[in-house]
Amino acid sequence: MINGEKLVENPIRWAMVGGGRESQIGYIHRSAAQRDNNFHLVAGAFDVDPKKGKDFGVKLHVAAERCYPDYKTMLVEEAKREEGIQAVSIATPNGTHYEICKAVLNAGLHVVCEKPLCFTTKQAEELANLAKMKNRVVGITYGYAGYQVIEQARQMIANGDLGEIRIINMQFAHGFHSEAVETENPSTKWRVDPNIVGPSYVLADLGTHPFFLSEVLLPKLKIKKLLCTRQSFVKSRAPLEDNAYTLMEYDNGAIGTVWSCAVNAGSMHEQKIRVIGSKASIEWWDEHPNQLRYEIQGKPVQILERGMDYLYQEALVDDRISGGHPEGLFEAWSNLYTRFAMAMGACDRGETLNDIWFPGIEAGVEGVRWVENCVRSADNGAEWVEYQ
Amino acid sequence: MINGEKLVENPIRWAMVGGGRESQIGYIHRSAAQRDNNFHLVAGAFDVDPKKGKDFGVKLHVAAERCYPDYKTMLVEEAKREEGIQAVSIATPNGTHYEICKAVLNAGLHVVCEKPLCFTTKQAEELANLAKMKNRVVGITYGYAGYQVIEQARQMIANGDLGEIRIINMQFAHGFHSEAVETENPSTKWRVDPNIVGPSYVLADLGTHPFFLSEVLLPKLKIKKLLCTRQSFVKSRAPLEDNAYTLMEYDNGAIGTVWSCAVNAGSMHEQKIRVIGSKASIEWWDEHPNQLRYEIQGKPVQILERGMDYLYQEALVDDRISGGHPEGLFEAWSNLYTRFAMAMGACDRGETLNDIWFPGIEAGVEGVRWVENCVRSADNGAEWVEYQ
Amino acid sequence: MINGEKLVENPIRWAMVGGGRESQIGYIHRSAAQRDNNFHLVAGAFDVDPKKGKDFGVKLHVAAERCYPDYKTMLVEEAKREEGIQAVSIATPNGTHYEICKAVLNAGLHVVCEKPLCFTTKQAEELANLAKMKNRVVGITYGYAGYQVIEQARQMIANGDLGEIRIINMQFAHGFHSEAVETENPSTKWRVDPNIVGPSYVLADLGTHPFFLSEVLLPKLKIKKLLCTRQSFVKSRAPLEDNAYTLMEYDNGAIGTVWSCAVNAGSMHEQKIRVIGSKASIEWWDEHPNQLRYEIQGKPVQILERGMDYLYQEALVDDRISGGHPEGLFEAWSNLYTRFAMAMGACDRGETLNDIWFPGIEAGVEGVRWVENCVRSADNGAEWVEYQ
Amino acid sequence: MINGEKLVENPIRWAMVGGGRESQIGYIHRSAAQRDNNFHLVAGAFDVDPKKGKDFGVKLHVAAERCYPDYKTMLVEEAKREEGIQAVSIATPNGTHYEICKAVLNAGLHVVCEKPLCFTTKQAEELANLAKMKNRVVGITYGYAGYQVIEQARQMIANGDLGEIRIINMQFAHGFHSEAVETENPSTKWRVDPNIVGPSYVLADLGTHPFFLSEVLLPKLKIKKLLCTRQSFVKSRAPLEDNAYTLMEYDNGAIGTVWSCAVNAGSMHEQKIRVIGSKASIEWWDEHPNQLRYEIQGKPVQILERGMDYLYQEALVDDRISGGHPEGLFEAWSNLYTRFAMAMGACDRGETLNDIWFPGIEAGVEGVRWVENCVRSADNGAEWVEYQ
Ligand SMILES: NC(=O)c1ccc[n+]([C@@H]2O[C@H](COP(=O)([O-])OP(=O)(O)OC[C@H]3O[C@@H](n4cnc5c(N)ncnc54)[C@H](O)[C@@H]3O)[C@@H](O)[C@H]2O)c1
Ligand SMILES: NC(=O)c1ccc[n+]([C@@H]2O[C@H](COP(=O)([O-])OP(=O)(O)OC[C@H]3O[C@@H](n4cnc5c(N)ncnc54)[C@H](O)[C@@H]3O)[C@@H](O)[C@H]2O)c1
Ligand SMILES: NC(=O)c1ccc[n+]([C@@H]2O[C@H](COP(=O)([O-])OP(=O)(O)OC[C@H]3O[C@@H](n4cnc5c(N)ncnc54)[C@H](O)[C@@H]3O)[C@@H](O)[C@H]2O)c1
Ligand SMILES: NC(=O)c1ccc[n+]([C@@H]2O[C@H](COP(=O)([O-])OP(=O)(O)OC[C@H]3O[C@@H](n4cnc5c(N)ncnc54)[C@H](O)[C@@H]3O)[C@@H](O)[C@H]2O)c1
């Protein structure tokens, strides 16, 4: 159980690029990183508008002189400091991730990067190589993976509780963009602009989340081929899709599906993953993340609850309060940021950690690869394509 | 509200073929048909084993001499009676439907036939033509369509409450056949024998149910092309599938999916249909059939309940008890059998009924057509096929 | 599993008093009684208005001459027939039950009587004695008791699955009478008229239902003392209550509560019973009657489903269709009417049935007794009273 | 929306008493207080064992010399520092709250105190007077009150959306103490020891939580009289109760109930509050705290979701992430700690804040008063007592 005791000897000196005042995702980065003193926010280039960025940074208790007009200046200036930053989180719109990530790695710093890492597998692999060369940690914020019952699910599958895995159904299907809200909402506007998000909207923005969960739960599964059909129900979004279905054939004969959707009218998130085995199934829904359905064929459905002794030990270590009390997305992110910090510390000490996993650079690469394959299929008449 | 008052002047003299003592579906036919005196069971060939069939029929209060060894004898003998049977329900394994249905129509009788009507569109159309020529009513027992909130959903869509329809997600995905239970269970054995069920298992057995619901809810939608991938997770079932995904493109640009599955371990039925429009979605789950989720984008989700005044008038007429009291599958079937009786009565009087709908011969044809197209795609490498 | 085979050699010749065309509860009596040919409706005094009653009876396929202007005439006339009625169901407003029930018993017929049987324990015991003397069966339509998972709960408790029983929480709390709807609605009007319903509204109308369930589940428990507070939130209903809480102390130290309410705004039924033992709890909700929650302390909650093999054998015998298919209130009532028929048949043959239970005359007496004690407490400043 | 921008100019210098390494509730205090830099943990007497307390404090990044052996030493030593502590949170077992709270106030510091504040209304009022005299802020951690949909409920009631309030049903009924786990578990042991928890177990430990919610939702309601019956189902706990029911009559004729229970086998928390008005009801369940059921009589039930525009503005200000993402108990506590900080800052500046509310000293007093009245009734034969 986490109780605030230090897991990292000294808080990592940390900066953010993006995640400004009105941004959607900036706060959860800060909240997760600084929880339990794993990271300490000391610098930033928080906004595309330098003035707003500085004003905001100061309100975050960052020294004014370390609130930089842009990430390039930040990297240059921080490099001059004795106690300069050690890690940078990137929470800007998608189109900038590649170049910022590259620059940060080249500056010899650890990175936490928002998904998608970039737009092409080629770029992604380039970043992966760079990270390796520079021996730096890259964390990708597939935040839902930090929930404890996901760990429980992972252990159950590894331990054979479900039997042989046959089917994985995934979805992330909200309704908030049922209409062309992008005309009003800046955080949506760039999401449907191919210049900023590249080749895909919902596949990359939504589908990659449950897809990463499937990688966590089923680390050995390999996609053999897939097929994707995508639509732009709000016409002005074409060529970017606001709905997509992906079918996947895995190398062991299992089957997977992903429904990625931003026009699922009236729905909140509806991010779900269901893994079906020969003996039992499990199902998880991100809107009620403390529960896991466990359905053994021929037995009553069971509702597993976070924090309970009957779970696998690995699913209990990240608890911050006893069962029954709902933990939420902030704890899930904190769990990941804690692991990022531990991995960065170990890396700096020249050690490797074997007992933790987190969405690292490979997760970033695989997410980009999956989107790329989906788009290739979709743009080729929604035909099956070999997974590359 | 239904209160038992006669809707049909005299109960229709009715017989069954199949639906014997241990059969799965025989009782609900009898219960639904005889509810409210719409039909009166006076004859039958209830079992493949004549002796068991007779013994059983007598226990159903059928006169011993009208418990026939087989349907052919029944049709011959009943034709000789002044007060012979007027309608026959067919509840035998799939492979016999075509010939029995044809024989019954040729005998000039009305039919209620289990799904699937037969195995090929060609056969199905032949039966449709025969029914037309003989001017007889054919009802198909897509029983779930008889629920009142399905009618509510139908009215909501027709009235534009959902806006323009974009997506229809369907599934019927139970887990009862996760293992090769057919070795023990006779009602499952024939379901996975291609000699008896023809070209498909779960598509025909399960998928056609929500598919018919989509026809009820969206009568104008036409499939342009579809793609189906199917699997035999229990290997011995090949070439018959125990899992299948179907993707559909409709002529107006809407998209549909059907998940048909008998290996969804731990699940009861999980028959669901979700219709997503530009303004709102509705979702229905057959295990809790008195409720309908109504999700307007930007508003709180609403749970509509059977029997409540806020529903469309058309969704209230078949109520048998006030809201809050759960009606179940027996009422849904009774609602259909009542309409079958009314249509048969009207047909006999040379009238047509415009104010009721029910799964008739076209539903039978369309179900067969859909399975045929799915199988064609699946057997052609799971490629897209033009819908024929 | 019930499949329609005769359980009673010949359908019992049966009549109804009340349950007319617009009545709330008449149809379910007819539907339940005639299901599976256990009873055959051959006579009736269906309405307080003789003309309407006759017109209605004819539409129910009752011979015109056996549609009587009132129950007294019916009893007299039917007694003259060779094949006169054998049993009568009483579905009239509460104030008439006592006298009709008495008359029917005195006529030597079996009775099915709506709850409450009458208004005082004294009257109730008089009827019980009369039934005994006349050796006639009395069934009381506590219909919810007919659900199969109630039987499952009963077996679980009897088998000690819950440990020692500590707490029983009950409620029946709908919202339909949040306003003074009685000014418009005739079925509500009499319910709040003390001349017709006697000393209580919701305690008798609603609370007795889950109270009877508690008698079914815990046949040995005896109330030692109770306390009841009641309110008339719609002022014009005073002295009749539209809300009441009852606390009970049982002789073994267990505790019970009943919330009876007709002003639970926005709620459908919310009839629930939760039984808490030292090891586990079970909870049942009448709006989703095919499920039973089973909560073992320290284990994941389990959802038990009707029709599944893991249930006790006794909970499977009344199934009419396999699990996953929702049965509803009509099946629950049919299960009770079937037992009424079997008991009547046995009684006529001079036999006793030991292997079935049903809400009989004692259930009627105990319901009246409970209401009487509640009212006594409530009218005595909501003080504790010894249970008499 | 909260994004981390400073709400308090400088973090308040803050210490804890209790909340040591294995304590249940220590971490959430630290996490909530330090979120967003409102408080900064600089000192503490974290454990009854000084050595463990110091070791732990250091691991929390507290300077070794400010990890004190006990709270008295801490108050003395910190008073000598220029930059000494400004506020203290008390998270020790109940029996110590009174004396620690008094000492902290006497030291001129702000307090956050765990519930129950103390054991008697007299003591509580003494503390209230002291706080007033010393002009210090006291916050009480009724943490559930910090959820945003509780604010929504509050606004709905204030705005008359429910009509006139009639009934408030409350419960906090977990099952974790169904057996005598106190023999093994130290955090449970003291909870059932009257020397440490005073006159009550579950009423004080559990019941006060939803009771405080009722005060938040219905600030004007006054209890006129109440009745409480309590039991010790685990015998060794007597005279302390592990189950209790409280009935309340409010001065306006409304009725309330509270079920406090630690032997609700198999249940997690089951903390719920349902407020029933003449037009509509609302219901909230702490295990799924982002949702609020809104049930208007005669309309479909609505599920309101945190973070959605259709909520009252007051229910949106504390959001930290957009709707659909689950917030949890940590955010609820952070919301309260933020208000504590703002109130403390204002108090120090000689200002009063009118636009925020939080559980303050009155909440502490009222909680103690309620328990005292409940116990008085329970110990007086579970009779009605005038509320004092
Ligand atoms: N992991 C998740 O669950 C999740 C959720 C939401 C968003 N995201 C990702 O986070 C990223 C940001 O999304 P958002 O919704 O917060 O976007 P947003 O539009 O709400 O905010 C973007 C922020 O970045 C700033 N910014 C833009 N360009 C910048 C630059 N060159 N330098 C510095 N700052 C710059 C903007 O000023 C703004 O503050 C995206 O990549 C998105 O895909 C991830
Ligand atoms: N509409 C639905 O929801 C639904 C549900 C279940 C089954 N069905 C359909 O109902 C049909 C029967 O299915 P089931 O599960 O009841 O099968 P089953 O195997 O349980 O019962 C089949 C019955 O038919 C009898 N029979 C077989 N051949 C016969 C013949 N030539 N003449 C007379 N009787 C014969 C058998 O003796 C047996 O009583 C199938 O077509 C099935 O697809 C439909
Ligand atoms: N068991 C249950 O779950 C349940 C549910 C609803 C009602 N009830 C009970 O059923 C009884 C009837 O309730 P209802 O809601 O159907 O009432 P209702 O007012 O809807 O119908 C009453 C019917 O009885 C007829 N009637 C009245 N007096 C008569 C008389 N003297 N002779 C013949 N017919 C007469 C009326 O014409 C009408 O048709 C009540 O005792 C009620 O408590 C039980
Ligand atoms: N607000 C809530 O929701 C909530 C939830 C749980 C507990 N609580 C309350 O929090 C308090 C603590 O409960 P807990 O469950 O964390 O208890 P616990 O037994 O788990 O922990 C108590 C801690 O206090 C320390 N302690 C004991 N006496 C001390 C002293 N004199 N000086 C310094 N430290 C001392 C112990 O060493 C231990 O670390 C109780 O009053 C309890 O009612 C409130």
Q: Which residues of D touch A24 (CB under 8 A)?
A: 321-322
Across the interface, of B166, B257, B265, the residue whose CB is closest to A263 is: B166
Q: What is the pLDDT of residue A110?
A: 98
* Distance in angstroms (rounded) separating the CA atoms of residues A144 and A315: 14
Contacts of D39 (CB under 8 A, 6+ apart): D11, D12, D13, D14, D33, D87, D337, D341
- Give the pLDDT confidence of B7-16 residue by residue, as tens digits: 998 999 999 9
Output the CATH code of domain C147-316+365-386: 3.30.360.10
Tokens coding B143:
């029983």
Residue A193 C-alpha to ligand 1 middle, in angstroms? 14
By the 8 A CB rule, do D319 and D306 touch? yes
By the 8 A CB rule, do D188 and D174 touch? no
Cross-chain Cβ contact D4/A24 below 8 Å: no
Helix (H, G, I), strand (E, B) or coil at D331: helix
Residue C386 C-alpha to ligand 2 middle, in angstroms? 59
Q: DSSP string covering C29-78, please?
A: HHHHHHGGGSEEEEEEE--SSHHHHHHHHHHTT--GGGB-SSHHHHHHHH
Cross-chain Cβ contact C27/B3 below 8 Å: yes
Cross-chain Cβ contact B304/D302 below 8 Å: no
Measure in Å the smallest separation between the Cα of C382 and chain B Cα atoms: 31
Average pLDDT score over residue span A190-205: 94
Q: What is the pLDDT of residue C187?
A: 86
Measure in Å the smallest separation between the Cα of D145 and chain A Cα atoms: 14
For ligand 1, residues with CB inside 6 Å are A 17-20, 23-26, 45, 47-48, 70-71, 91-94, 96, 114-115, 141, 143, 186-187, 205
- Give the pLDDT confidence of C293-331 residue by residue, as tens digits: 999 999 999 999 999 999 999 999 999 999 999 999 999
Residue ranges of C 274-313 with Cβ closer than 8 A to chain B: 286-290, 305
Q: What is the pLDDT of residue A4?
A: 96
Residue B21 C-alpha to ligand 2 middle, in angstroms? 11
Say if residue B4's pLDDT is above 90: yes
By the 8 A CB rule, do C170 and C211 touch? yes
Q: Whose CA is nearest to atom 25 of ligand 4?
A: D18
pLDDT-above-70 percentage for chain C: 100
| CA nearest neighbour of D45 among D11, D80, D76, D73 | D73
By the 8 A CB rule, do A327 and D328 touch? yes
Please report all neighbours of A, defined by 3+ CB atom pairs within 8 A.
Answer: B, C, D
- The ligand that comes nearest to the alpha carbon of residue B100 is 2
**Which of D177, D232, D233 to substitute to test the interface with C, most C CBs within 10 Å?**
D233
Across the interface, of A253, A265, A280, the residue whose CB is closest to B295 is: A265
Confidence grade of residue C354 (pLDDT, cut at 50, 70, 90): confident
Q: Is the peptide bond before D239 cis (omega within 30 degrees of 0)?
A: yes
The domain ranges of chain D are: 12-144+340-358, 147-316+365-386
Q: What is the pLDDT of residue C303?
A: 98
For ligand 4, residues with CB inside 6 Å are D 17-20, 23-26, 45, 47-48, 70-71, 91-94, 96, 114-115, 141, 143, 187, 205
| B12-144+340-359 is a CATH 3.90.1520.10 domain | no
Residue D24 C-alpha to ligand 4 middle, in angstroms? 7
Mutate-to-test residue for ligand 4 from D16, D24, D72, highest number of ligand atoms within 8 A of CB: D24
The size of the A-C interface in CB pairs under 8 A is 34
Residue ranges of A 310-329 with Cβ closer than 8 A to chain C: 310
* Distance in angstroms (rounded) separating the CA atoms of residues A384 and B15: 50
Q: What is the pLDDT of residue A207?
A: 98
Residue A28 C-alpha to ligand 1 middle, in angstroms? 12
Cross-chain Cβ contact A294/C303 below 8 Å: no
Q: Which residues of A touch B249 (CB under 8 A)?
A: 229
Point out the ligand 3 atom lying closest to the alpha carbon of residue C190: 19
Name the average pLDDT for chain C: 97
Residue of A nearest to C306 (CA): A300
Average pLDDT score over residue span A282-298: 98
- Give the pLDDT confidence of D288-312 residue by residue, as tens digits: 999 999 999 999 999 999 999 999 9
Measure in Å the smallest separation between the Cα of B280 and chain D Cα atoms: 14
Contacts of B242 (CB under 8 A, 6+ apart): B177, B192, B201, B202, B231, B232, B233, B234, B261, B262, B263
Q: Which residues of B touch D294 (CB under 8 A)?
A: 300
Q: What is the pLDDT of residue A163?
A: 98
- Give the pLDDT confidence of A132-171 residue by residue, as tens digits: 999 999 999 999 999 999 999 999 999 999 999 999 999 9
Q: Is the peptide bond before A239 cis (omega within 30 degrees of 0)?
A: yes
Point out the ligand 3 atom lying closest to the alpha carbon of residue C144: 3
Residue A26 C-alpha to ligand 1 middle, in angstroms? 7
Say if residue A336's pLDDT is above 90: yes
Q: Which amino acid is at C26?
A: G
Tokens coding C64:
């015109």
- Give the pLDDT confidence of D83-108 residue by residue, as tens digits: 999 999 999 999 999 999 999 999 99
| D63 close to A (CB below 8 A) | no
Across the interface, of D3, D268, D322, the residue whose CB is closest to A21 is: D3
Residue D19 C-alpha to ligand 4 middle, in angstroms? 6
| CA nearest neighbour of B323 among B146, B144, B145, B149 | B149
Q: What is the pLDDT of residue D352?
A: 87
Confidence grade of residue C352 (pLDDT, cut at 50, 70, 90): confident
Q: Whose CA is nearest to atom 29 of ligand 3?
A: C48
Q: Which residues of B touch D305 (CB under 8 A)?
A: 300-301
| D12-144+340-358 is a CATH 3.40.50.720 domain | yes
Distances from the Cα of A126 to the Cα of A102, A119, A363, B133, D271, angstroms: 9, 12, 14, 71, 52
Say if residue A352's pLDDT is above 90: no
Confidence grade of residue A187 (pLDDT, cut at 50, 70, 90): confident
Say if residue B264's pLDDT is above 90: yes
Across the interface, of D323, D325, D329, the residue whose CB is closest to A325 is: D329
Please report all neighbours of C, defined by 3+ CB atom pairs within 8 A.
Answer: A, B, D
Q: What is the pLDDT of residue A186?
A: 87
Say if residue A354's pLDDT is above 90: no
Average pLDDT score over residue span B70-78: 98
For A147-321+365-386, which CATH superfamily applies?
Dihydrodipicolinate Reductase; domain 2 (3.30.360.10)
Say if residue B100's pLDDT is above 90: yes
For ligand 2, residues with CB inside 6 Å are B 17-20, 23-26, 45, 47-48, 70-71, 91-94, 96, 114-115, 141, 143, 187, 205
Say if residue B352's pLDDT is above 90: no
- The ligand that comes nearest to the alpha carbon of residue B99 is 2
Confidence grade of residue B319 (pLDDT, cut at 50, 70, 90): very high
Say if residue B186's pLDDT is above 90: no
Cross-chain Cβ contact B264/A257 below 8 Å: no
Q: What are the CB-based long-range contacts (under 8 Å, 24+) for A131-134?
A: A131/A105, A131/A361, A134/A105, A134/A106, A134/A108
Q: What is the pLDDT of residue D354?
A: 87
User: E strand or H helix at D369, and its extent?
Assistant: helix D361-378
Confidence grade of residue D328 (pLDDT, cut at 50, 70, 90): very high
Point out the ligand 1 atom lying closest to the alpha carbon of residue A71: 32
Q: Whose CA is nearest to atom 39 of ligand 2?
A: B20
Tokens coding A244:
């997509």
Measure in Å the smallest separation between the Cα of C383 and chain D Cα atoms: 7
User: Bridge partners of D227?
Assistant: D247
- Give the pLDDT confidence of C137-175 residue by residue, as tens digits: 999 999 999 999 999 999 999 999 999 999 999 999 999
Average pLDDT score over residue span A21-26: 96
In this structure, CATH architecture of domain B147-315+365-386: 2-Layer Sandwich (3.30)
- Give the pLDDT confidence of C375-387 residue by residue, as tens digits: 999 999 999 999 9
Confidence grade of residue A87 (pLDDT, cut at 50, 70, 90): very high
Say if residue D186's pLDDT is above 90: no
Q: Whose CA is nearest to atom 9 of ligand 4?
A: D114
DSSP conformational letter for B67: B
Cross-chain Cβ contact B302/D304 below 8 Å: no
Confidence grade of residue C186 (pLDDT, cut at 50, 70, 90): confident
Residue B263 C-alpha to ligand 4 middle, in angstroms? 49
Residue D173 C-alpha to ligand 2 middle, in angstroms? 49
Taking the alpha carbons at both ends of chain D, their separation in whole angstroms is 41
Cross-chain Cβ contact A298/C308 below 8 Å: yes
